[in-house]
Amino acid sequence: MALVAAVRVPARVLFRSGARLPGAALGRTERAAGGGDGARRFGSQRVLVEPDAGAGVAVMKFKNPPVNSLSLEFLTELVISMEKLENDKSFRSVILTSDCPGVFSAGLDLTEMCGKSPAHYAEYWKAVQEMWLRLYQSNLVLVSAINGACPAGGCLMALTCDYRILADNPRYCIGLNETQLGIVAPFWFKDTLENAIGHREAERALQLGLLFPPAEALQVGIVDQVVPEEQVQSTALSTIAQWMAIPDHARQLTKAMMRKATASRLITQRDADVQNFVSFISKDSIQKSLQMYLERLKEKKG
């Protein structure tokens, strides 16, 4: 699945109450270089949102080094930042990309899912759900500029977008590789992938935990375009221009219609999904598998 730990308040509570994380100056803004009059950068520890020169476009950069793991803190800041953009009528579109070289996002933080209490697992999973719902149901045009490796939860984030552009680098693979860690992708991960690439390809990819290099990712349809690495950002901007040429109300209603069934399936089963996750991740066999994987990662770093 996609796999850090710390904040003890669910992301949904934080963004609904307007609370802020310590040190995350989400209320502070500063003028962005080259952004023009009124262009302001949202200051945040792990998520940087800055306007681009193109009117109505914001670039959201993930900066949770070394690999942009989806920690509870990162998820909280991401949801708050998305809410700020959605409430600011000057923004119509967002480019999701990475500020960490070589990786878009390595996915859910394994340390959030290993050696913690059931209460923490539940809190963390609610934050993951909230992130997906916020991105998947957004009225904004979302384009992922995938400038690095994109497994598991990173892939899930990219799949929520309206359009996906991947840098043409053989090291930048994308896919839901949960089974390789002994984990089963939840039904809404499966639904999101299946919507993109079809039932048969999704079934094969999920069972084998496949990570697709750029050419295969394009062929199977998990991304919409593969371009040279230095052209990812410019291609994202030109793509957004095409989407923004469509009247917002018509595009938004169409998007909501296309995605309603998938989103509603999770919304109506949120509590059960949390309970299933906690029950599954708490199993001794799963904990041992995650611990072994984390130990291997430590050895590689050593």
One-character DSSP codes across 34-92: T--TT-EEEP-SSEEEEE-SSTTEEEEEE--TTTTEE-HHHHHHHHHHHHHHHH-TT--
Number of continuous H segments (helices) and E segments (strands) in the chain:
11, 13
113: amino acid identity, one letter: M
101: left (phi over 0), alpha (psi -120 to 50) or beta: beta
In contact, 75 and 90? CB cutoff 8 Å = no
**Tokens coding 217:** 């990712």
In contact, 116 and 51? CB cutoff 8 Å = no
Active site residues: 108, 153, 177-178
In contact, 3 and 109? CB cutoff 8 Å = yes
The string over 178-212, giving b where at least 16 C-beta atoms fall within 10 Å of a residue's C-beta and e elsewhere, is bbebebbbbebbbbbbbbbbeeebbeebbeebbbb
Rounded Cα distance, 3 and 182, in Å: 12
On the question of a cis peptide bond just before residue 214, with omega within 30 degrees of 0, the verdict is no
By DSSP bridging, strand 174-175 and strand 148-151 are parallel
CA-based nearest residue to 156, from 171, 170, 136: 136
Compute how many other C-beta atoms are within 10 angstroms of the C-beta atom of residue 139. 14
Rounded Cα distance, 212 and 175, in Å: 6
